[in-house]
Amino acid sequence: MNVLVIGNGGREHAVIAALKKSPKVDKIYAMKGNAGIAKMAELVNVDYCDVKAVGDWVDQKGDIDFTVVTPDDPLALGLVDELQSRGHRAFGPNKNAAIIEASKAFSKDLMKKYNIPTAQYETFSDYESAKKYLETCAIPVVLKADGLALGKGVLICMTREEAQDGLKEMMLDQKFGSAGNKVVVEEFLVGPEVSALAFTDGKTIKPMITSCDHKRALDNDEGLNTGGMGTFSPAPFYGEKTAQEVMEKIMRPTIDAMNAEGRTFKGVLYFGLMKTKDGMKVIEYNARFGDPETQVILPMLKTDLMEIFEAIVDERLDEVDIEWEDGACVCLVLASGGYPEKYEKGKEITFGDLDKDVTVYHAGTAEKDGKVVTSGGRVLGVVAKGADIEAARRKVYANAEKIHFDGMYYRKDIGIKYRDIAKE
């Protein structure tokens, strides 16, 4: 089979590395890819948010058997629908299901209607009403821009003043663009967070191994929110008991709710969860693989990923046994100095002599004059497996030191979080 993978980050590099191992896959194309992906796939320079242009390219190419859509924007824009309407096979939720990520107001209303545990909330489209509500609500409070905002549309406000300023930025100053026309004001929850991803064909749900992201830019979870500075797998506090609670109270009800709404979800559903004193609660849904969660999940997958993708599209996921390796996996993101705010691009990257069992997934890289250079905020993900998280993190850090580019920055504490919480 010839497979087209949409996207250009570390997540897509990990997806392509997994597909490369499949005997079913002949050739991989990546739209648009990066310098690391270029070693495994042929790059295609088409804007993947232009769904019609992607459809035209696939039509003209003529020999693409399957397309995998992983980023949030093309899913929300209906790329899977566009390809299907032209008779092509594509993996990922349809536009009417991808809304579970694309609109926070939609996902909150869905959870309320179907009794899926989440933070209490109110939704506002009118600034004055929201302002009034903030005068009396409990503090801390969380403000969320309704639409997609590259993971940056969430403000955790520790004081009432901060909340009022944040609301003004979102609704009046349009800091997150039109994503802030509608705002969800949410109860602040406390507890460890976990990314619980699942494969689903709309009927069967097969959870993946769990992972934990580190969203803040600086050590000790300080600094600005980012797309994710590192991950580890599995979450130590998420054992059989929690997995069962999540399946019964969150995963199954969500898939059933989407079916009941006429929005059957097929693809990867990402449950961002918090373990609160009142049980597991949903913080957010994503309609896709996480980044950098995928970089620690897929290296542990023993089953053929292409087989899973096909089974989902054909609605026969119940026939596939999905197996995972034991042990742990850690991903450390090497970022450009200044990320997630202003940073420079075009810095040459040198990799040194890395251990053979360490993988480097490329995110923001490009090739220039035969050299690999930086081209984004999150540049590389250094990934290692180990018997436990500590062993994997030691290997990751020992190898990260060998990599260099001007301004390179990484957190020193990936994999430490939650190790004092009781293991389940």
Which of the listed partners (ligand AMP, ligand GLY, none) does 188 bind, with a CB threshold of 5 to 8 Å by partner kind? ligand AMP
Q: Look up residue 247 and give its two tokens.
A: 């399946």
| Residues 113-152: x where in contact with ligand GLY by CB under 6 A, - otherwise, as a string | --------------------------------------x-
Q: Which stretch binds ligand GLY (CB under 6 A): 40-48, 197-205, 283-291, 314-322?
A: 283-291
Element (H, E) at 141: strand 141-145
CB of 293 to ligand AMP, least distance (A): 12
Burial of 374 (0-12, 13-18, 19+ CB in 10 A): buried
What does the angle CA 268 – CA 290 – CA 205 come to, to the nearest 5 degrees? 25
Contact between 223 and ligand AMP per CB under 6 A: no
| Cβ proximity to ligand GLY, 57 vs 271, nearer residue | 271
Considering only residues 277 to 306 of the shown chain, the ones binding ligand AMP according to CB under 6 A are: 283-284
Which residue, judged by CB position, is nearest to ligand AMP in the bound state? 284
Which of the listed partners (ligand GLY, ligand AMP, none) does 189 bind, with a CB threshold of 5 to 8 Å by partner kind? ligand AMP
Q: What are phi and psi of 50, to 5 degrees?
A: -90, 90
Q: Say if CB 299 and CB 14 are below 8 A apart.
A: yes
**Spatial distance between the Cα atoms of 319 and 322, rounded to a whole number of angstroms:** 10
Contact between 8 and ligand GLY per CB under 6 A: no
| Residues 331-370: x where in contact with ligand AMP by CB under 6 A, - otherwise, as a string | ----------------------------------------
**Number of amino acids touching ligand AMP (CB under 6 A):** 15
Contact between 272 and ligand AMP per CB under 6 A: yes
To the nearest 10 degrees (0 to 180), the angle between helices 305-313 and 10-20 is: 100
What is the number of alpha carbons within 13 Å of residue 257 lying toward its C-beta?
19
What is the number of alpha carbons within 13 Å of residue 337 lying toward its C-beta?
8
**Spatial distance between the Cα atoms of 319 and 90, rounded to a whole number of angstroms:** 20
| Cβ proximity to ligand GLY, 71 vs 180, nearer residue | 71
Which of the listed partners (ligand AMP, ligand GLY, none) does 119 bind, with a CB threshold of 5 to 8 Å by partner kind? ligand AMP
How many other C-beta atoms lie within 10 A of the C-beta of residue 118? 22
Q: How far is CA 323 from CA 7, 246, 289, 300, in A?
A: 26, 20, 18, 9
For tokens 């005997």, what's the residue?
23
For tokens 């392509």, what's the residue?
16
Contact between 286 and ligand GLY per CB under 6 A: yes
Q: Say if CB 270 and CB 293 are below 8 A apart.
A: yes
| Residues 119-138: x where in contact with ligand AMP by CB under 6 A, - otherwise, as a string | x-------------------
Contact between 213 and ligand GLY per CB under 6 A: yes
| Cβ proximity to ligand AMP, 149 vs 209, nearer residue | 149
How many other C-beta atoms lie within 10 A of the C-beta of residue 342? 9
CB of 324 to ligand AMP, least distance (A): 24
Please report, as ranges, the residues that interact with ligand AMP according to CB under 6 A.
Answer: 119, 142, 151, 154, 156, 186-189, 193, 215, 225, 272, 283-284
Q: Which residues sit at the interface with ligand GLY, rule CB under 6 A?
A: 151, 213, 228, 286, 290-291, 293
